[in-house]
Amino acid sequence: MRMIGPFPAMGRRAVDMGYSWAGMHHDWQQSDMTGLLVTAHMMTPYAPAMPHADVHIDSLLTWAVMQSLPAPVFFPSHSAAVMPCPLRLLWVDGAGHPLWASTPLLPAGDAIAAKEYWHKRYPSDRAELSNKRAANTSAGRWKEARVPMGVVTTSKLTGLCIGVEFEVHRLLSTITHIGKKTGTGYGRVAKWDVTPVGGLELSQVLSGHPVPVDSPIAENVTGYYKPSTGWTPPYWYAPWHSSCIVPSAQ
């Protein structure tokens, strides 16, 4: 089995309870995996992160793995780490970063792309508490802002993956919000459905996911060449970006 890494530091309590990243990775990769259709039933619009606008199933699962441990996880500052995931491991690059068998979640059925705004204001009505009462609210640090944000309203998001059905459902069920600005209610998921899909081909999964050109799998992917993009969680972490074949649909 191919090993992945680097893993973050695990809290002592979790270690004492017998958790280990390598153990989780081993157990999941030895489990029966099946093709799965993942459905998120949405209650509020979600705000995709830009510029990598997709909400990836493998990102959600690795986040849920981290949250599900009985003690906090410690990341090195200014860096990222790899987490195990109950998905089929397709390839590992030279640095240990994994390519998981999953697609992004995309709207199923009707969807509205809209723009909403959030506002930031200097607390001028509490300025007397400050040692300086003057504040320029039209420029500089205290400038008030009206910030546009793209949101998508849809009743359902769906995606495909190949993984351990029970674990995928268990982990996704811990996720209540997806996308950006969850603190203000965006991306509220009412429930997750994870249903087996008979005869799901790997090519169907890859048709929705960037694949590094260094991977032999890339030969089987139809799409366009992108010099640098995210392909493994965390997708936003630019130092791990590489040249990929990106499916044409994206």
Partner 1 sequence: MNNRCTVVLEAVEPVAHGDTLSGIDNSTNVRLFMRSAILYNGQGVRVPDLSENALRSVLFRRTLHDQLLRALEIGQGQLSQATLNLLYSGGSMASGAQAPTNEIELGHRVKDLYPSLDLLGGSVNDFILPRSRLRVTCWPLVREYASLISLLYPEYVAESEKVSIYDLLSEEVRTRGTGDESSGNQMLYQYEVLAAGARFLVELTFDEWTPEATRSAATCALQSWDGFFGGQNRQGRGRMVLRDNEGLPDANIYTEFVTGHAEAMKAGLLDGSLGTGRMLCV
- Establish if 239 lies at the interface with partner 1 (CB under 8 A): no
Q: Which stretch binds partner 1 (CB under 8 A): 134-142, 199-207, 208-216, 231-239?
A: 134-142
Contact between 156 and 90 under an 8 Å Cβ cutoff? The reply is: no
3-state secondary structure (DSSP) of residue 218: helix
Q: Which stretch binds partner 1 (CB under 8 A): 12-20, 139-147, 194-202, 229-237?
A: 139-147
107 vs 247, beta carbon nearer partner 1:
107
Q: Which stretch binds partner 1 (CB under 8 A): 26-34, 54-62, 150-158, 242-250?
A: 150-158
146 vs 198, beta carbon nearer partner 1:
146
Q: How far is the CB of 192 from partner 1 (least distance, A)?
A: 12
Beta-carbon contacts of residue 169 (< 8 Å; ≥ 6 apart) = 192, 194
33 vs 65, beta carbon nearer partner 1:
65
Q: Which of 12, 141, 219, 239 binds partner 1 (CB under 8 A)?
A: 141
Give me the sign of the Cα torsion angle 159, 162, 166, 172.
Answer: negative
In the DSSP assignment, the letter for residue 69 is S
Interhelix angle for 165-172 vs 57-68, to 10°?
Answer: 80
Instruction: Determine the Cα–Cα distance for residues 169 and 84; give it in Å rounded to an integer.
Output: 16
Phi-psi group of 94: left, alpha or beta (phi > 0 → left; psi -120 to 50 → alpha; rest → beta): alpha
Sketch the per residue contact string, 71 through 90, with partner 1: x for CB under 8 A, - otherwise: -x--x-xx------------
- Establish if 233 lies at the interface with partner 1 (CB under 8 A): no
State how far the alpha carbon of 227 is from the alpha carbons of 200, 213, 224, 248, in Å.
29, 10, 10, 15
Contact between 200 and 189 under an 8 Å Cβ cutoff? The reply is: no
Q: What are phi and psi of 153, to 5 degrees?
A: -105, 125
78 vs 199, beta carbon nearer partner 1:
78
Q: How far is the CB of 69 from partner 1 (least distance, A)?
A: 10
- Establish if 122 lies at the interface with partner 1 (CB under 8 A): yes
Q: Which stretch binds partner 1 (CB under 8 A): 21-29, 95-103, 186-194, 216-224?
A: 186-194
Q: Which of residues 51-70 bind partner 1 (CB under 8 A)?
A: 67
Smallest CA-to-CA distance from 83 within 108, 58, 101, 102 is with 58
The binding site for partner 1 (CB under 8 A) comprises 41, 43-45, 67, 72, 75, 77-78, 110, 112, 114, 116-124, 126-132, 135, 138, 140-142, 144, 146, 151, 153-155, 174, 176-177, 182-185, 188, 190-191
